[in-house]
Each structure stands twice: as structure tokens, then as C-alpha cells.
């Protein structure tokens, strides 16, 4: 009888046990830092946030105060051949016009310093304290590089992506490798003015052509073909261009050939965070922030502004892929053509 009562008591105890499991570990504030120094810019921005923890982390992400430190003091130090040079104190600024996402998008706090001449031969070290949490990181800089076939890309008639009438062309940018660069992205940025009843807005779209690393160097140069047909196919795939509601016309301006070079630290971060394509789902953790998580690295953007040639503009305006997107040109060279802007 006593054994029976003991067993019933144990069963009752098991049934009445709380089945909720608290998966949250004890909370510890950790600095999350992201900063990419770019010597092609005169102002450098660094994001400094803190970790947050709650029963619904996605909801917490949308609350600005949940990921902001109360007190942040940080600086960037320049070192050349081991000697301390310039020291830049970070100032805070609130930024708006943020892309939609799970984080608070009305405005966000970032930190910045101004230096139009970052030294390619120096190392830069980030040192900071956020609510008594110390963090630091350092990065080297991208060396000088330039387009090697500048003359070919500088033809008077502009870049050729089409010969007209649905016939597509290509061109081949070539550039020198840069010291400390491990990865290169090639892209085209198309600038145009969008005319609507409410006014004129300057717009742009980016087409990512491809990436290369130093293993791709041939005869001392890097190169990547820009395929005209793929270019027009990409523009044709963009919903924001196919939506011509309230659009009167889109005046094509110029096309920017862009090569973005990333240093080894940045390249490693990109590789670690690439989409998983095999059955191994665990992703290694990577950060170069001592005392925190995130990334402090460098990049440089090499650009070349060019016009599209006559046939390429004609294909953009009247071609089978993009002819419904209301592109035209107001160039005086094309004022007798059907794709001249009215």
C-alpha cells in the first residue's frame, strides 16, 4: 500500500511539473561593432550596438533602446611602421532613410570620423568602451589600383552593350591587383532621372557582374567580361523598373563601372557568411573584434563614369527586354532619334 501511494505521488509530481524550458542563458551585454574603412570616401562610419535578450528577440530588435549603449567612447588610431600618428575621436550621428527590416528603421545611431586621406600604407586600430565594456580591432588598408585598359573603356562613343535591334555586345574591364586586396566585385551602376507628375528624382540601379580573387590574376591583371544581354535581362527583371505607374519618362544619364576591393579580413567574413549549400548546417563563428563581435575591415571602390553608346541607348529605350520601362535620352547627339526624350 505504501509503495502504491509512493508511485501515485511520483506520477502526480511528474504530471504537474512545468514543461516550459527557458532557453535564454544569463544575459551579458556584448559590443557588436561593424566598420568598413574606405579610402575612396572622406567620412568613415562605424556601427556600435549591444546584444539584447528576451522572450521574443525579433520584437526586441524593433525597439531602438534595446540595442543601444548609454555611453560610448571610441577612437580610431593610425599606425605607420609601428608609430602612432593621427587619432580620430568618433562622433555620434542619427541616420534615417533606412531599408526596411526587423531592426528599428525610423532612425539609428552610428559613429563617424572625417578623414579624406586615409593612408594606404598605415594600419588603423579601433579602440572603445561601451558602458564599461572594452573592445578593439585593427585593419590594414587597400593599396593603389586602377583600370589597365582605361583607353578602351574611354571610347568617345561610350560603352557598347548592344549593336541595336536585339544584337548584344560585351566589353572587358581589366584592372591591376591591389596590395592587401583578397576579393574584387565588379558591378555596373546605372544612373537616370525619373520624371513624374510630382517632380524629378535621381535614381540608380546596380547590376552585380561577378567576383574575382587573386587566383584569377592572369598576366598580372584581373579581368571580367560584361555581357550586354545579361545586362538588359537584369534590368528587365526589376519590378521597380517595370512599374511605370505615374512615370512620365526615365532619362538615362551615365553608367558607372565599379570595382570594389576587399581586404583579407573582409573576404574571410564574406566567405564565412555565404549561404550554406551542403548538408553541413553549422556555420563557423568569425569576428575580429576583441571584446565583442562583428567586423572592422577595409575596402576601396574604383569607379569609371561613361555614357552608353547610341545603339546601347536605343536598345534600352526600344528593345524587346526593356522597351516598356520608358527610358530615353536627352543628349543633343540623339535629338533626331526616336528614343530622344520628348
The pLDDT value given to residue 114: 97
Give dist(CA 296, CA 274) in Å, integer. Answer: 18
Angle at 145 between CA 143 and CA 147, to 5 degrees: 170
Contact indicator for 295, 266 with CB cutoff of 8 Å: yes
Place of cell 593599396: 143
Angle at 208 between CA 206 and CA 210, to 5 degrees: 160
Give dist(CA 274, CA 263) in Å, integer. Answer: 17
Give dist(CA 309, CA 240) in Å, integer. Answer: 24
pLDDT tens-digit readout, 24-82: 455 578 999 999 999 989 999 999 998 754 444 444 444 455 678 889 999 999 999 99
pTM, to two decimals:
0.82
- For the domain covering 31-139, report its CATH number: 2.60.40
Cα 127 to chain center, whole Å? 24
User: Does residue 266 register a pLDDT over 70?
Assistant: yes
Contact indicator for 301, 262 with CB cutoff of 8 Å: no
The full 3-state SS of 269-313, as one line of letters, equals HHHHCCCCCCCCCCCCCCCCCECCEEEEEEEEEEEEEECECHHHH
Lowest mean per-residue pLDDT among 42-56, 240-254, 271-285: 271-285
The pLDDT value given to residue 275: 72
User: Does residue 182 register a pLDDT over 50?
Assistant: yes
Give dist(CA 117, CA 24) in Å, integer. Answer: 46
> Which one-letter DSSP state was computed for residue 221?
B
pLDDT tens-digit readout, 201-228: 999 999 999 999 999 888 899 999 999 9
Contact indicator for 269, 297 with CB cutoff of 8 Å: yes
Measured CA to CA in angstroms, residue 74 lies from 28, 48, 49, 131, 328 at distances of 21, 10, 13, 11, 49
Q: Residue 289: which of 130, 141, 180, 183 has the closest Cα?
A: 130
> Which one-letter DSSP state was computed for residue 4?
H
Lowest mean per-residue pLDDT among 10-14, 224-228, 256-260, 315-319: 10-14
The pLDDT value given to residue 100: 54
Res. 175 pLDDT band, cuts 50 70 90: very high
Specify the higher pLDDT residue, 279 or 228.
Answer: 228
User: Does residue 315 register a pLDDT over 50?
Assistant: yes
The pLDDT value given to residue 103: 44
Give dist(CA 316, CA 310) in Å, integer. Answer: 10
Give dist(CA 106, CA 50) in Å, integer. Answer: 18
The pLDDT value given to residue 96: 73
Where exactly are the structural domains of the chain?
31-139, 152-260+302-334
Give dist(CA 101, CA 164) in Å, integer. Answer: 41
Give dist(CA 51, CA 31) in Å, integer. Answer: 7
Amino acid at each position: 500500500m505504501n509503495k502504491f501511494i509512493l508511485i501515485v505521488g511520483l506520477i502526480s509530481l511528474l504530471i504537474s511539473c512545468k514543461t516550459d524550458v527557458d532557453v535564454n542563458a544569463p544575459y551579458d551585454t556584448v559590443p557588436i561593432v561593424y566598420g568598413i574603412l574606405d579610402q575612396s570616401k572622406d567620412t568613415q562610419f562605424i556601427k556600435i550596438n549591444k546584444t539584447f535578450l528576451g522572450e521574443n528577440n525579433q520584437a526586441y530588435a524593433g525597439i531602438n533602446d534595446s540595442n543601444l549603449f548609454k555611453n560610448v567612447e571610441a577612437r580610431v588610431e593610425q599606425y605607420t611602421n609601428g608609430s602612432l600618428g593621427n587619432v580620430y575621436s568618433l562622433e555620434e550621428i542619427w541616420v534615417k532613410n533606412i531599408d526596411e527590416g526587423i531592426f528599428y528603421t525610423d532612425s539609428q545611431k552610428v559613429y563617424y570620423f572625417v578623414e579624406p586621406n586615409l593612408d594606404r600604407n598605415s594600419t588603423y586600430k579601433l579602440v572603445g568602451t561601451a558602458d564599461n565594456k572594452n573592445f578593439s580591432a585593427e585593419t590594414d588598408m587597400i593599396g593603389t589600383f586602377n583600370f589597365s585598359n582605361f583607353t578602351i573603356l574611354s571610347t568617345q562613343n561610350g560603352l557598347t552593350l548592344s549593336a541595336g535591334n536585339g544584337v548584344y555586345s560585351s566589353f572587358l574591364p581589366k584592372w591591376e591587383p591591389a596590395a592587401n586586396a583578397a576579393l574584387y566585385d565588379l558591378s555596373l551602376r546605372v544612373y537616370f532621372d525619373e520624371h513624374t507628375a510630382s517632380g524629378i528624382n535621381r535614381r540608380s540601379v546596380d547590376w552585380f557582374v561577378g567576383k574575382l580573387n587573386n587566383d584569377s590574376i592572369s598576366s598580372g591583371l584581373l579581368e571580367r567580361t560584361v555581357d550586354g544581354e545579361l545586362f538588359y535581362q537584369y534590368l528587365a527583371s526589376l519590378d521597380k523598373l517595370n512599374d511605370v505607374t505615374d512615370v512620365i519618362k526615365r532619362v538615362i544619364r551615365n553608367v558607372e563601372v565599379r570595382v570594389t576591393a576587399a581586404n583579407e579580413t573582409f573576404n574571410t567574413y564574406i566567405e564565412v557568411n555565404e549561404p550554406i549549400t551542403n548538408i553541413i548546417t553549422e556555420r563557423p563563428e568569425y569576428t575580429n573584434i576583441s571584446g565583442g563581435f562583428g567586423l572592422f575591415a577595409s575596402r576601396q571602390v574604383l569607379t569609371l563614369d561613361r555614357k552608353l553608346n547610341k545603339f546601347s541607348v536605343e536598345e534600352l529605350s526600344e528593345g524587346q527586354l526593356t522597351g516598356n520601362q520608358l527610358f530615353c535620352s536627352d543628349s543633343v547627339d540623339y535629338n533626331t532619334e526616336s528614343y530622344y526624350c520628348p
